[in-house]
Amino acid sequence: MRTIVTFESDAFNSTEPRDYFINECCFGDDVARAVIDELRSRRAVTEPEPGQEDFGWYLTFDAGASHQLVIGYRPDTDEGGTWICWLERNAGLIGSLLGRRRRVLPEAATVINEVLAAIPSVRNVRWHTKNAFDNGNESESASSPTMP
């Protein structure tokens, strides 16, 4: 299953650091809130607010088990960039050490795919395997998180 999703959108802040950012490049709080709103409109259980990482944001939601969507921004050109999200199982410290973060349920990827499709400003949604993405091979992406 593909667990990394990239997309483009001009609707979210990717240029103006906010005073509450941990680092200047911590864009994505508005993306996380848009995803949370769309998840809640589908009656999904979410944490009330996104959390901040040193490079971006994350949100926690339930899709048969607790998952997190981690969000970062990659400025590709002067004209814009790419939002990069990776989907993980919320596993806690011990579970993370045992590799349980990689045990993403297909339902979690499916609902995130549906949510992104429902946000009008989101375009060019592409799903990637972690291995291919980590190796810089974004050409093997697909429009769906499920493998053919």
- Beta strand 4-8 with 66-77 is unpaired
Q: Which pLDDT score is estimated for 23?
A: 93
- Domain at 4-126, CATH from 3.30.1240, 3.30.310, 2.30.30, 2.20.25: 3.30.310
- What pLDDT tens digit does each residue of the chain (148 aa) get? 999 999 999 999 999 999 999 999 999 999 999 999 999 999 999 999 999 999 999 999 999 999 999 999 999 876 779 999 999 999 877 767 777 878 999 999 999 999 999 999 999 999 999 999 999 999 999 999 987 6
Q: Which two tokens stand for residue 138?
A: 């974004």
In this prediction the pTM is 0.92
Distance CA(66)–CA(8), nearest Å, equals: 26
| Rounded (10°) angle between helices 29-41 and 106-118 | 100
The span from the CA of 88 to the CA of 82, in Å, is: 19
Question: Quick one: which H or E segment has residue 35?
Answer: helix 29-41
> In angstroms, rounded to a whole number, what is the distance separating the alpha carbons of residues 112 and 87?
9
